[in-house]
Structure 1
Amino acid sequence: MIGHELGGRYQIIERIGGGGMALVYRAQDILLNRNVAIKVLRQQFVNDEEFIRRFRREAQSAASLSHPNIVSVYDVGQEGDVHYIVMEYIEGRNLNEIIKERAPLQVDEAVRIASQIADALDHAHTNHIIHRDIKPHNILIGRNGWVKVTDFGIARAVSSTTITQTGSVIGSVHYFSPEHAKGVTTGEKSDLYSLGIVLYQMLTGRLPFLGESPISVALKHLQEHFDEPRSVNPMIPQSVENIILKSMRKNPGERYESAKEMLRDLETSLLPERRTENKLTFVEDEDEDSTRVVPAIKPQNRQNSGGSKLSRDDQGSDERQKQKSNKKPTGNKTKLWVGITLIVIVAMLGIAWYVNKLVTVEEVKVPNVLNMSIEQATEELSKVGIVVGNVAQVYKEGVDEGIVYEQSKSEGTAVKEGSSIDLTVSTAKELPQMPMLMGGTYTYEEAVAQLEQLGVSKDRIRKDEENSDKDTGEVIGQTPDANATFNPDTDQIILKVSKGPANIKMPKLEGLTQAAAVKAIEDAGLKLAKDGIKQKSSYDKPSGEVMEQWPYAPGGDVAPGSEVTIFVSSGYPSEAIEYTFEVPVVPSTDGQKSKIHIIYGDARGENQDWGTRTITKPQYISVDLVLAPNKDGYVYVNRDGALTDTYKVSYIDAKQGTVPQPSLPVTNPTPDESNNDPNGNNGDNNSGNNDQNPPDTGMVNKSKITGRLAKADMKGSKHHN
């Protein structure tokens, strides 16, 4: 069934319980996205048409109940030969498990639980539905302590044939009412009798009637009295004992009239004025079917107690009797009386012998039946005429299931033939259920503490860590699964623990624009910190470009969701000066090509490459500089691979407008030079620079140009060769 989608709607997840009639699964309601419990009828009942009809009818009746203390029935259906009931899923444990774990319960807790059960029964009885199988197994206690009664209507669907077919129903005989045990029609008061037994068991930790077989237990419900609760647990108030005594009367007429009346009694039972109330007493009427002792009829004295004498007529009659008795009997009468006397004597001797035979019972020796199975022990005892009495089934460490480890009379004890002895047999160890440790319920440390309380040694708890979107340290998986039975003494427990989300590589944000950097942060699963964009001036980064990223360097491991701050350039500082310096350059030979390479430095950095230009005549080249109060600018001019000129541009001069500007000496070219200019100039020696320093008239040779440049350099710049 696990993984099967029942009715096209319910995805079966796991088996969480079961009884003699049905198996119970936890499932996911795909349509409403909620957990549900699904009870599936066992296969041996699917061909019993009468059973199926009653099963569905009663389940549908239970679905009509709506009460906070009753498990809601959502749906009833059939898929092929699978008959199922969909119910409310309660996360918690049943009352039977709680009783086994820590009974006797505190009085106030037991009364609170019984009150909620009585409230549920009152609602059901008002709607003409009788449970008929009230027992701790059918009482669920949620994690919040709220009580839920389940299996309404299911008990009614049990036919007489199932009494011996299912262990679940046989187990219920301990909670049967006397009328239920008789097989007669049961009513609302049968549920109250069963509730009284549940309350008895919660407060004493044991059942009122035990026996070696279901039949013997049923007979005890009919014939025997139970040990009163306060004789077992003196801490029970008299008011609460009175509730148990009244609800468990064998005569239904002496029980509570309704569940509502019992509920009212429970709700007030712990009031101070009621705790010490008088014990309830009942008139013990004998059952008409019980054995009665009838006293013998004694002969009346012929003389009254006052000693008065007989009347005259009586005296006369007496005299006549005496006269008759004084007459001598005839011979025949004598023989008759002798014969009768002999017959009476023989009969009396026979009766005495028979009675003596019945009364006198031979003694036998009790054999040793320890370490035998219950079947072997029964056979061994029967060989010597001893019968098995009560058989208690109690787990004992080191003793296999079904083996006798205690007998009420020791080996060799002399007992009458036909006597009974009680045996104690070991049962299988009742294994606890694995608690739900995952799903946000426990951290690893809390889960280990929970398991240690169940008896699991810490060295058998293994921790497996893996990345997930859950908080670090949270349990995200477990083996065995929740609600599965396990042996705390031998099983290894595996807890899968979250290490948190897996780390990611920090992207490089420096050099990106602000918008591109923000997108890169989001794409990587990171977050921009609050006020995470900082503006910062820069000489070497253009405005809008990311200069720095903090606190994670590019390529480093970062947890998803971490916050990042970026520093974005706001451009040059306010005190910076952008200045264009006109650099004069001349070819090595006028009219021939020279390659000019310019290197400059300013606030943006040292030895920056402006580039290379080929010239054939003197001209100016514009170089853009950025100057700072603590950083002047400079320009290096290389011609054909050799440094020819160096110019310094002072921040102060640029700010004041007093930067010396070297002049460019030029000459008019000859016609040949004009016509053969390799740069394609039309004879203008100031090509590209007509707006500055108009050319002189006349011819100028190379030495003259160089000299004038040198003089200009000496006026406004240092010249380094």
Structure 2
Amino acid sequence: MVLCLLRLWGKDDRHLLPPARTVYSTDGMLFKGQKLGKYKILASLGSGGFGAVYLARDTWIDKDVAIKVPHKQHQSFGDLLREPRLLASVNHPNIVSITTAEKQDDLFFIVMEYVKGETLETILMRDGALELRRALDYAVQICNAVDHAHRQGVLHRDLRPANVLVSDNGVLKVADFGTSRFLEIAAHGTTVIGSPAYMAPEQFQGKAVFASDLYSLGVTMYQMLIGELPYDPPTPASWHKLLDSSLLRSPHVKNPAVPKRLGEIVMRALAPEVTERYQRAADLIEDLLATRPLVLGQTPARVDDVAAARPAGRGGPSLERANIQRRLHERAEAPVSRTCWHCGKPLHVRAGRCPFCGEAQ
């Protein structure tokens, strides 16, 4: 039939035929150079249990984007739209933003912000425990994202370093809301969702609540401070071992350089019983910010090492040590110029929240 039409139209009229339909692999896999509507695939960024993510170029506006293709393309259109609708409800600087959701040639995909950088998991695997100030900064940023999501009624349910992106300029973005649910929906479900190493005890029973995300954040904070998980990940059959509080040792006990108060905060986030844990991310942020002076004051703890390495002046080692302590104390107390990590505007030295954009610091 097509050949007959071509003979009738002639060679120069072939452009009048409908464009050939692009055929994609059955599992939604895309390849470098492949076109998906106006998007050109540049590279694969990774694949998880719920979908594959690609770096792509929006050829209309010359902008790099991230494209997520769910594995389960056979789901109803409403189910496919669940994740993009959740993302649209949690617009925040510390959450990967969504651009749109589209369907091309029967392939559904989500177009999201591309974050140039690496995952927190990659950083921890490479560097181990983070410097205290950096760990606290990262914890507060993640907590800001969780606080915003919870205020919209959204539970993440799979909060872990692999789902936290660290941009080249140090801004953290929580990603992968594919397992998320609105609280009222999650409360009536029994499906076990999450990664065992970061799951709260109640998640193994399919009973995730807001405090479950804060437990996952507690595991992540522990890992940032110590460089390892607080315990060996349980199997689904041995989750009840998490109810034994003796399983955990405070980060301060394992590393005395971690302030005792910061260790107590992490341990409260990791409380086995939901009622003993932080209930609101805002409360966790407040306690974390209160430890900033302790974290910034860690340098004087190394005074003995500094004094031992320097020649003693007049008055002997004791006077030299006292002088070093005095100078370090004065440096710690001196006002430091600060700017908001989010909007970049100047802040008062003791400001806990930016008066311009409202973000916790």
- In the superposition, the TM-score normalised over structure 2's length comes to 0.67
SS of 1:31's partner is coil
Contact 1:181 1:222 in 2 (8 A): no
The answer to whether structure 1 residue 236 and structure 2 residue 276 are counterparts is: no
- Look up the match of 1:270: 292
The answer to whether structure 1 residue 21 and structure 2 residue 59 are counterparts is: no
Contact 1:181 1:221 in 2 (8 A): no
Work out the CA distance in 1 between the residues paired with 2:122 and 2:217.
17
- Look up the match of 1:472: none
- Look up the match of 1:527: none
- Look up the match of 2:242: 221
- Look up the match of 1:181: 204
- Look up the match of 1:404: none
Cα deviation for residue 141 of structure 1 reads 0.5
Cα deviation for residue 211 of structure 1 reads 4.5
- CA 222–86 in structure 1, closer or farther in 2 if over 3 Å, else same: farther
Contact 1:118 1:259 in 2 (8 A): yes
SS of 2:111's partner is strand
Contact 2:196 2:234 in 1 (8 A): no
- CA 248–29 in structure 1, closer or farther in 2 if over 3 Å, else same: same
- Look up the match of 1:526: none
- Aligned AA for 2:157? R
- Look up the match of 2:335: none
- CA 162–195 in structure 1, closer or farther in 2 if over 3 Å, else same: same
Work out the CA distance in 2 between the residues paired with 1:115 and 1:261.
11
The answer to whether structure 1 residue 47 and structure 2 residue 47 are counterparts is: no
Work out the CA distance in 2 between the residues paired with 1:86 and 1:246.
37
- CA 27–231 in structure 1, closer or farther in 2 if over 3 Å, else same: same
- Look up the match of 2:267: 245
Alignment of 1:261-660 (within 5 A): 261-272=283-294
The answer to whether structure 1 residue 103 and structure 2 residue 125 are counterparts is: no
Contact 2:191 2:206 in 1 (8 A): no
- CA 61–272 in structure 1, closer or farther in 2 if over 3 Å, else same: closer
Work out the CA distance in 1 between the residues paired with 2:59 and 2:259.
50
Cα deviation digits, residues 620-661 of structure 1 (max 9, x gap): xxxxxxxxxxxxxxxxxxxxxxxxxxxxxxxxxxxxxxxxxx
Work out the CA distance in 1 between the residues paired with 2:124 and 2:109.
29
- Look up the match of 1:579: none
Work out the CA distance in 1 between the residues paired with 2:93 and 2:201.
30
Match of 2:84 among 37, 59, 78: 59
SS of 2:144's partner is helix
- CA 234–145 in structure 1, closer or farther in 2 if over 3 Å, else same: same
Contact 2:132 2:295 in 1 (8 A): no
Match of 1:11 among 40, 49, 52: 40
Alignment of 1:118-129 (within 5 A): 118-129=143-154
- CA 275–193 in structure 1, closer or farther in 2 if over 3 Å, else same: farther
- CA 56–85 in structure 1, closer or farther in 2 if over 3 Å, else same: same
- Aligned AA for 2:241? K
- CA 81–226 in structure 1, closer or farther in 2 if over 3 Å, else same: farther
- Look up the match of 2:60: 31
Work out the CA distance in 2 between the residues paired with 1:210 and 1:124.
29
Match of 1:85 among 110, 118, 122: 110
- CA 212–154 in structure 1, closer or farther in 2 if over 3 Å, else same: closer
Work out the CA distance in 2 between the residues paired with 1:148 and 1:222.
31
The answer to whether structure 1 residue 76 and structure 2 residue 101 are counterparts is: yes
SS of 1:210's partner is coil
Identity fraction in percent: 37
- CA 82–227 in structure 1, closer or farther in 2 if over 3 Å, else same: farther
Cα deviation digits, residues 530-563 of structure 1 (max 9, x gap): xxxxxxxxxxxxxxxxxxxxxxxxxxxxxxxxxx
SS of 2:115's partner is coil
Contact 2:52 2:70 in 1 (8 A): yes
Greater share of residues in helix: 2
- Look up the match of 1:325: none
Work out the CA distance in 1 between the residues paired with 2:284 and 2:118.
25
Work out the CA distance in 2 between the residues paired with 1:46 and 1:13.
22
Cα deviation for residue 80 of structure 1 reads 4.1
Work out the CA distance in 2 between the residues paired with 1:13 and 1:273.
42
Contact 2:190 2:206 in 1 (8 A): no
The answer to whether structure 1 residue 146 and structure 2 residue 171 are counterparts is: yes
Work out the CA distance in 1 between the residues paired with 2:233 and 2:277.
25
Cα deviation digits, residues 700-719 of structure 1 (max 9, x gap): xxxxxxxxxxxxxxxxxxxx
- Look up the match of 1:198: 220
- Aligned AA for 2:250? E
Cα deviation for residue 205 of structure 1 reads 1.2
- Aligned AA for 1:146? V
Work out the CA distance in 2 between the residues paired with 1:211 and 1:193.
14
SS of 2:121's partner is helix
Contact 1:23 1:40 in 2 (8 A): yes
Cα deviation for residue 101 of structure 1 reads 0.7
SS of 2:154's partner is coil
- Aligned AA for 2:67? I
Cα deviation for residue 162 of structure 1 reads 8.8
Cα deviation for residue 64 of structure 1 reads 2.7
Cα deviation digits, residues 98-125 of structure 1 (max 9, x gap): 0011111111111100000111111111
Query: Would you say how many aligned residue pairs link Structure 1 and Structure 2?
Result: 263
Contact 2:38 2:58 in 1 (8 A): yes
Contact 1:114 1:199 in 2 (8 A): yes
Cα deviation for residue 214 of structure 1 reads 4.4
Q: Which has the higher contact order (CA 8 A, sep 6+)?
A: 2
- CA 273–200 in structure 1, closer or farther in 2 if over 3 Å, else same: closer
- Aligned AA for 2:61? L
- CA 211–112 in structure 1, closer or farther in 2 if over 3 Å, else same: closer
Contact 1:130 1:153 in 2 (8 A): no
Cα deviation for residue 81 of structure 1 reads 4.4
Cα deviation for residue 274 of structure 1 reads 11
Cα deviation for residue 275 of structure 1 reads 7.8
Cα deviation for residue 46 of structure 1 reads 2.5
Work out the CA distance in 1 between the residues paired with 2:177 and 2:89.
10
SS of 1:215's partner is coil
Work out the CA distance in 2 between the residues paired with 1:103 and 1:195.
17
- CA 39–215 in structure 1, closer or farther in 2 if over 3 Å, else same: farther
- CA 98–141 in structure 1, closer or farther in 2 if over 3 Å, else same: same
- CA 175–275 in structure 1, closer or farther in 2 if over 3 Å, else same: farther
- Aligned AA for 2:249? D
- Aligned AA for 1:230? H
SS of 1:271's partner is helix
- Aligned AA for 2:44? R
Cα deviation for residue 183 of structure 1 reads 1.6
Work out the CA distance in 2 between the residues paired with 1:190 and 1:36.
31
